[in-house]
Structure 1
């Protein structure tokens, strides 16, 4: 039985996503459909509610696939800030793998910081990448995902599995 507002779907920008197993565990507990979207083949659990989507084409093909399908009631897991922006504009909830939710209030600053860091790297001033993923990040992610699911359920969205 689906809710009047429709089922909650989870879209994972899966290339280099460190929390796929956590998504599977939480989505299974809540009865949600998961789309694991990547540019190359990834092994995923064989469950009817987990759908692997391998997109051919350019570097942004997975981002495009996700952004074209999300709407209100969807949860997107991504570290990609431009994708987060596109998904927020479509009405989706967006969470980074470290548990940081992207919101309408925070996305502008995230985009500006990303652009500034890209410019600094191009000039050779800044280097390196993100800090190593930690157990604290994993815990924060699990908490943020559970909060997003609860918020959507309160708004009338429901499970996608029968």
Structure 2
């Protein structure tokens, strides 16, 4: 993969902004790879490759980790996957538009661990709130910003 031409790799199982990703990828001429389990229906379209993997709980993550290279952009809401792709030199972006980085990922992983402990002991935690149109616009603006920065940094 050439350093100037990233791929947008999407953890697509529960991603609510697939249409925004496809549209933005097409606008920038950047290929999009959506990865999901066979349990989810993804419709192929121009500029978007689709890979479907086994139903195993980590199959999508393992495929993405094996595929991602430095400079790619990964869209995921999975903090563990985000931490791994950051270590590989990829950009990690949540489907809410949060750019994960080395400063924030440790805190997010700790918080996830604490919430899992609370749930195992019978406690409750809040799930993510519903996506709004404003959330979708915010995500698309962040993805556009990341792609513009990649474009500027790859020019001679």
1:46 and 1:5 mapped to 2: Cα distance? Answer: 25
- Offset at residue 121 of structure 1 (A): 1.1
> RMSD of aligned C-alpha atoms?
1.7
2:13 and 2:3 mapped to 1: Cα distance? Answer: 30
Write out per-residue CA displacement over residues 18-60 of structure 1, whole angstroms, 9 at most, x where no aligned residue. Answer: 000000100000001111100125232431x211100125111
1:109 is aligned to 107
Q: Is the 8 A contact 2:9 2:75 kept in 1?
A: yes
2:7 and 2:115 mapped to 1: Cα distance? Answer: 32
Ranked by relative contact order (alpha carbons within 8 Å, sequence separation 6 or more), the top structure is 1
Q: Does 1:43 align with 2:39?
A: no
Matches within 5 A, 1:1-162: 5-40=3-38, 41-47=40-46, 49-156=47-154
- Offset at residue 122 of structure 1 (A): 1.1
1:103 and 1:72 mapped to 2: Cα distance? Answer: 14
1:160 is aligned to none
- Aligned residue pairs total 154
Q: Secondary structure at the match of 1:127?
A: coil
Q: Is the 8 A contact 1:42 1:52 kept in 2?
A: no
Q: Name structure 2 gaps, 5 residues minimum.
A: none
Q: Name structure 1 gaps, 5 residues minimum.
A: 158-162
Deviates more, 1:14-23 or 1:125-134: 125-134
- Offset at residue 11 of structure 1 (A): 0.4
2:82 and 2:32 mapped to 1: Cα distance? Answer: 17
